Chains A and B, each alone.
Chain A
């Protein structure tokens, strides 16, 4: 099956801890994205990558980091510098026509 997978589905973080969210796609898409969604709110872009070994900051990059070493993978690290990380994190990918497809999401909670 072609698609986007995210893991874990639920993640709990202690104060001061870094955590990494996984995103993998087998759609052969060049571009990948990370969004954050807070309850009752819209999507906010954290980082995006249009090609391997290159990525750009989105609107709310502070406290987050990413890497794009492989076309299929775009992991997101939530660092201790992110003071309010509790949210629903969504990964997406797109091809040349900019149709974005989303993974199932990771729900992160700070304990």
Chain B
């Protein structure tokens, strides 16, 4: 059974701080890794994709992948109250449906 694990939170950070969200996965054959943001009552929105080891930056977001440790993370710099949401980690092993974690709830305190 392929699994994706996330700390459910809530993770509380002050406005302007760096929020660090973590995810581990069980399938060593995983090839594609995604972060989604889901506001309460809304559908998930894709915010980052990463496919190779290392860092990938997009604006205030940085995704980090370490395949040897089976670990992927999302850093949010200069956190804003509008970043308060649940963040879902998703992992893919080739041509199979994504496996989603249960999400980490982030709260940014003004």
Chain A residues engaging chain B, CB cutoff 8 angstroms? 33, 41-43, 45, 48, 50, 58, 90, 97-105
Contact = CB atoms under 8 A, between A and B. Distances in A.
B98 A42 contact: no
Contacts of A43: 44, 88, 100
A41 B43 contact: no
Contacts of A104: 42-43
B80 interface: no
B46 interface: yes
Interface of B: 32, 34, 42-46, 49, 88, 90, 92, 95, 97-98, 100-103
Contacts of B103: 42
Contacts of B97: 33, 45, 48, 58
B98 A100 contact: yes
A41 B44 contact: no
Nearest to B44: A102
Contacts of A48: 97
B34 A90 contact: no
B102 A41 contact: yes
Which residue, B42, B90, B97, has most C-beta atoms of chain A within 10 A?
A: B97
A66 to B, nearest CB: 14
A97 B50 CA distance: 11
